[in-house]
Amino acid sequence: MTRKRKERRCPCGADISLTPNHTKWCPPCARERKRELKARQQEKDSARRRSLRPMSCVNCAAPITITSPTSFSRRCPTCQKARKAERARTYYALDTDKFLERARAYRAKYHEKVLARTRRWRVAQGPALNERRRQVYAINPEPHRESARIRGRKRYAAMHSPESDGLTKAQWNELLDIYDRRCAYCFSEGPLTMDHVYPLSRGGRHSPDNVAPACRPCNISKLDRLLIEWVGRKT
């Protein structure tokens, strides 16, 4: 025997007998009531926000803009960010090895994803980073010049050491002919530079068997890495 539902009606007169027993309004009235309650609460929050006294940061005394009457910080956004960074550094220092191992495992698992994200970041931040380097150099250029001079002297000493066989202009032209005057790495044409396959900074020799023609982008990208390191980094 089925039990009859008790007839119930919304204050607007609509039949709500088929709705759950705890429902007192039809769907349109329920939505309207929800909007009214939300507007009423927003009005209360605005009145309370206006009644609050102006606040200042406990660290730098900067004025704080209160966006919520129920939850706010006693620090300005800049100080909040600095505090979070300090907490992160402290937490990282407690167990550095664990975080390094976790980072290595993540990079090994998502190698392609990390490389793609790094490339996007370099493309997006490249102009800003170059401008920042130029500003730092303009403020105090002498340390950068001294560093360049030291690297030049070390490179000159490695290229003209007794262990190095040397590379004549004729030998360099012969190497260019062997590689068809193209980059040995990307096979592009254009201005070519001398790249030491085994870097001089790692004990490589300045000799024909250790020199290959490379375009400037490839030479800069390779830096002082071995081929296996550089190719692995690019892929």
55 vs 206: CA distance, rounded Å: 67
Structure confidence at residue 85 (pLDDT): 92
Q: Do 178 and 229 reside in the same domain of the chain?
A: yes
The 3-state DSSP class for residue 170 equals: helix
Task: Report the percentage of the chain scoring pLDDT > 90.
Answer: 20
| Tokens (6 digits) for 181 | 């005057």
Structure confidence at residue 160 (pLDDT): 78
CB proximity list for 23: less than 8 A, separation 6 or greater: 16, 30
Q: Which of 22-26, 29-33, 68-72, 128-132 has the lowest mean pLDDT?
A: 68-72
Query: Is residue 65 assigned to a domain?
Result: no
Q: Are 57 and 76 in contact (CB under 8 A)?
A: yes
Asked if pLDDT for residue 106 goes beyond 70, the answer is yes
Q: Which residue has the tokens 């980072």?
A: 103
Query: Is residue 106 assigned to a domain?
Result: yes
Q: Do 135 and 173 reside in the same domain of the chain?
A: no
Structure confidence at residue 60 (pLDDT): 86
Query: Is residue 194 assigned to a domain?
Result: yes
Q: Do 175 and 125 reside in the same domain of the chain?
A: no
Q: Do 179 and 226 reside in the same domain of the chain?
A: yes
Structure confidence at residue 74 (pLDDT): 77
Query: Is residue 66 assigned to a domain?
Result: no
Number of domains in the chain: 2
Query: Is residue 182 assigned to a domain?
Result: yes
pLDDT-derived band at 70 (thresholds 50, 70, 90) equals low
Q: Do 174 and 126 reside in the same domain of the chain?
A: no
Which residues form the domain of 121?
A: 95-139
Query: Is residue 52 assigned to a domain?
Result: no
Q: Do 132 and 172 reside in the same domain of the chain?
A: no
170 vs 160: CA distance, rounded Å: 17
pLDDT-derived band at 213 (thresholds 50, 70, 90) equals very high
Q: Do 135 and 169 reside in the same domain of the chain?
A: no
Q: Which of 2-16, 135-149, 171-185 has the lowest mean pLDDT?
A: 2-16
Asked if pLDDT for residue 42 goes beyond 70, the answer is yes
Q: Do 173 and 219 reside in the same domain of the chain?
A: yes
- The secondary structure of 29-86, three-state, reads HHHHHHHHHHHHHHHHHHHHHHHCCCEECCCCCCEECCCCCCCCCCCCHHHHHHHHHH
Asked if pLDDT for residue 63 goes beyond 70, the answer is yes
pLDDT-derived band at 69 (thresholds 50, 70, 90) equals low
Quick: pLDDT tens for 72-100. Answer: 677 888 888 999 999 999 988 888 899 99
Structure confidence at residue 72 (pLDDT): 63
Higher per-residue confidence, 160 vs 68: 160
Average pLDDT for 101-114? 90
Query: Is residue 199 assigned to a domain?
Result: yes
The 3-state DSSP class for residue 193 equals: strand
Quick: pLDDT tens for 119-166. Answer: 899 889 988 988 998 998 899 889 888 988 988 888 888 887 777 777
Identity (one letter) of the amino acid at 59? N
The 3-state DSSP class for residue 176 equals: helix
CATH of the domain at 210: 3.40.1800
CA 46 to centroid of chain Cα atoms = 38
Q: Are 70 and 44 in contact (CB under 8 A)?
A: no
Q: Which of 25, 69, 20 shows the shortest CA–CA distance to 43?
A: 69
Query: Is residue 145 assigned to a domain?
Result: no
pLDDT-derived band at 29 (thresholds 50, 70, 90) equals confident
Mean predicted lDDT score pLDDT of the chain? 83
